[in-house]
Amino acid sequence: MTAPEIKTDLMLDCKGLACPMPIVQTRKAIERLEAGQVMEIQATDKGSLADLRAWAAKTGHQYLGTIQEGDVLKHYLRKASPGDAKEQTIFPHIVANEALRHMLGQGEAIVVLDVREPAEYAFGHIPGAMSIPLGELESRLTELDPEQVVHVICRTGMRSDLACQLLADKSFGRVSNVVPGMSGWNGAVERSV
């Protein structure tokens, strides 16, 4: 059975781009659409599935679904009408990489939550960091204590920002986004492969 052809108004090629670039490109490109029009985003970054779904929910655009063809993920979004669109928010509580490195060095009782995809985590993560990919976070909230201090990290701070907003919405009161994230981390790193 072949999938039906999906009519789109704009196709965005994000193949080969890693987080946060599919979101950055999508945010720019969706401005060219009229409300109700559909956009196809082609990406090879496995994390783009959770990233685009979460971004759409936070901005009011409709995430329609994703079709995988080989290594390419074809994401479909419908642009929100002006009344449904939401102002994109940035999580206000931020911790710099250096501050996190200092806290870890002092042995502070904190949780470092890494929301990158499993392959990203496997090839380099902060020792002791807990791995819960953004796309699994909501279904795995019971693995976290809402009373603990949780510092959320990803590659650049974009996925972790979305994760922080989700945790705050679920009554986690001591959450911070680590910026600029693993792309700028110069502390200890371990591999699990």
Strand 175-179 and strand 94-96: the pairing is parallel
Task: Outline where the chain has alpha helix (H).
Answer: 21-29, 48-59, 97-105, 118-122, 134-137, 158-169
How high is the pLDDT of residue 26? 95
Q: What is the DSSP letter of 87?
A: -
The predicted pLDDT at position 2 comes to 58
Catalytic, 19? Answer yes
Q: What pLDDT is recorded for position 73?
A: 96
Domain limits of the chain? 10-78, 94-184
10-78: which CATH number, 3.30.110.40, 3.40.50.300, 3.40.50.360, 3.30.365.10? 3.30.110.40
112-130 pLDDT, tens digit per residue, is: 999 998 989 999 999 999 9
The active-site residue, picked from 14, 19, 154, 164, is 19
CATH 3.40.250.10 describes domain 94-184: yes
The burial of 1, by beta-carbon neighbours within 10 Å (0-12 exposed, 13-18 middle, 19 or more buried), is given as exposed
The ranges of the chain with pLDDT < 70 are 1-4
Token code pair at residue 49: 């599935």
